[in-house]
Homo-oligomer: A and B are copies of this chain.
């Protein structure tokens, strides 16, 4: 019927894709000064909220699985940022805990996050609204059976 000549600039998925890439390009050099990557930064933020999460709990929060998290956490452990310990109660579980070195980065990371927020040019209110809309979109596509088979 309609030819729907959709260009890349019309797609909401491309908006997310290119905005996420741009955000990474903004974060990368700042985090590199601290020896961190973006997902490693997320792990720190998550553990500063509550330390001692398991790999599975981190994955549930960040939307990642062990195939991504295990090597990432091993790199963080090698860098002296976290410890990886098998739980006593259940030997399958690995508990991730922050080191003093990681806790020492807290202030610098807070500055960096403020700097990034300022770069968005958004008011706190607008940022919250946009954030929640993006989360809602994520949840919509995550919890949907595509029924494509």
Tell me what chain A mostly uses at the interface: helix, strand, loop, or mixed.
helix
User: What is the chain B residue whose CB lies nearest that of A44?
Assistant: B8
Query: Known: A8-B46, A12-B134, A42-B8. Is A62-B19 also a contact (CB below 8 A)?
Result: no
Residue of B nearest to A58 (CB): B8
Identical chains in the assembly = 2
Q: 29 pairs across A/B with beta carbons < 8 Å?
A: A6-B113, A7-B49, A8-B46, A8-B49, A8-B61, A9-B61, A9-B135, A11-B131, A12-B122, A13-B23, A13-B38, A17-B20, A18-B63, A19-B20, A19-B135, A19-B137, A22-B141, A23-B141, A26-B144, A29-B148, A115-B148, A119-B140, A119-B141, A120-B141, A121-B144, A122-B140, A130-B133, A130-B134, A130-B137
